[in-house]
Structure 1
Amino acid sequence: MSELFDEVDEEVRREQLKKLWDKYSIYFIALMVLIVAAVGGWRGYQYLEAKKAAEAGAAFDKAAELAEQDKHAEAETAFTELAAKAPSGYRTLARLRAAAEVAARDPKAAAKMYDELAADRGVGGEWQDLAKIRAAGLLLDSASYADVQQRLEPSAAPKATFRHSAREMLALSAWRNNDMTAARKWLDAIAEDGETPPGLRSRAEALQALLPPVAKS
């Protein structure tokens, strides 16, 4: 008797499942189609992005070769074109290299390009700091200490990635503009930072020796 009830229960379950399938099968099929399409679309997107990155990498290497061959005008054009159409990573690198090529013929124009990159929050903080350093380096001989300070002081903070270079430039700018107090401040910061590179530390010590002695009170 129990076997008969089991058979009846099984038949009921099959009937219920059939009704559910008849009612909802179209939605299930549609969902499966959407999943397959989504996976296919994502794979296609990944393929296209990888292809773009590979093409950008090859174009970047070619532009770098032109620069190494002293074909700076051609390299500038190549980097500028790459900066306009490459994926974000290569775009930022190309903008930096394009500015470096321009610097050889027009430092002020290159500094402006670096300033534009430094103001672009989309590239990320470290790239912005690097652009600030590059721009300040081009203007170091002509800019006032106040200008260099405005540009670089945030990049000289204790945990900043490029703090060592920023501090050296700030010290040099202060020294060239006869602000010995500021120069001493930045040279002290270089000396007190245990992670200061040895070469930079040596240059800072040489500059420190050129400063007039501190007046005794």
Structure 2
Amino acid sequence: MAYDLEEQEKLDALRAWWDRYGTLCAVLVFIVVASIAGWRGWQWYEGHQAGQAMSYFEALESATAQEGDDAVARIKAASSTLRSDFSGSGYTSRGVLVAAQALQARKDLDGAREQLEWLTKNGTDPALVSLGKLRLAGILLEQKQYDQALAQLNDAPAAFAGLYADRKGDILMAQGKPAEAKAAWEIAIKELGTDPLAQIVQLKIDALGGA
């Protein structure tokens, strides 16, 4: 009898506890399960997005190895999709650089410029953005947009200081400012150190003679 009474008291205590905390426990369990499901769902989505972005990147690379107007159209289409649908993917900035280089090689400077302008404004990888600015300055130099080209080279990151100074010298020389170009190239040589490119920059200075 005592045993039955003890069991009944335990059951009553359990019912009382459940009446007080049961709903809260159910909610907490639901939140935990939903969080796990949501995390796994997000991981699947991220993986799916990465796979899709990689496919467009590979299609873009494949198009760059082809010739003709159709290849140019495919390059631009693949890059456009990467930028619009996968702007946060690591494949996108790299794809834009590949597209810009391919378009520049085909003398489509406006197309290459448009790619690089997007990268400099929207890229998420600082190193690729810096590279994009350097290449954009080169495109603008070809288009004789000297002031805009120089504007890309402001606040050079340390890793690109030598390359930026070299490009700045090229632009200043194109503007008919040999003394300023020489000063920029001298900075480039100092920043490049033992890089073989420093020897090429030195040849530019030597070609100036007594300027």
Q: What TM-score comes out, normalization by structure 1 length?
A: 0.77
Paired-residue identity, %: 20
Q: 1:34 to 1:142 in 2, by over 3 A?
A: closer
Give the Cα–Cα distance (whole angstroms) in 1 for the partners of residues 143 and 57 of structure 2. 32
Give the distance between the partners of 2:131 and 2:16, measured in 1 at CA: 66
Note the C-alpha offset of 1:36.
Answer: 0.5
Q: Which moved more, 1:68-77 or 1:177-186?
A: 68-77
Partner of 1:184: 182
**Secondary structure in 1 aligned to 2:196?**
helix
Matched, 1:32 2:29: yes
Deviations for 1:27-80, whole angstroms, at most 9, x for unmatched residues? 101210111011111101101210221122123113202212333332332232
1:82 CA drift (Å):
2.8
- SS of match in other structure, 2:118: helix
Indicate the residue corresponding to 1:77 in structure 2.
Answer: 77
- In structure 1, runs of 5+ residues without a counterpart are 1-7
**One-letter amino acid matched to 1:112:** E
Kept in 1: contact 2:57–2:92 (CA 8 A): no
Gaps of 5+ in 2: 1-5
2:17 pairs, out of 17, 20, 33, with: 20
Query: 1:34 & 1:166 partners in 2: Cα distance?
Result: 53
Aligned to 1:148: 149
In 2, distance between residues paired with 1:87 and 1:175?
37
TM-score, structure 2 length as denominator?
Answer: 0.79
Corresponding residue of 1:107 = 109
Does 1:123 find its partner at 2:124? yes
Aligned residues: 201
* CA distance in 1: counterparts of 2:110 and 2:73, whole angstroms: 17
Distance 1:23 1:144, change over 3 A: closer
Q: Summarize the Cα distance change of 1:197–1:112 in structure 2 as closer, same or farther, 3 Å threshold.
A: farther
Matched AA of 1:137: G
RMSD (Å), alpha carbons: 2.8
Cα distance change, pair 58–113 in 1 and its aligned pair in 2 (3 A):
closer
**8 Å CA contact retained: 1:175, 1:183:** yes
1:168 to 141, 166, 169: 166
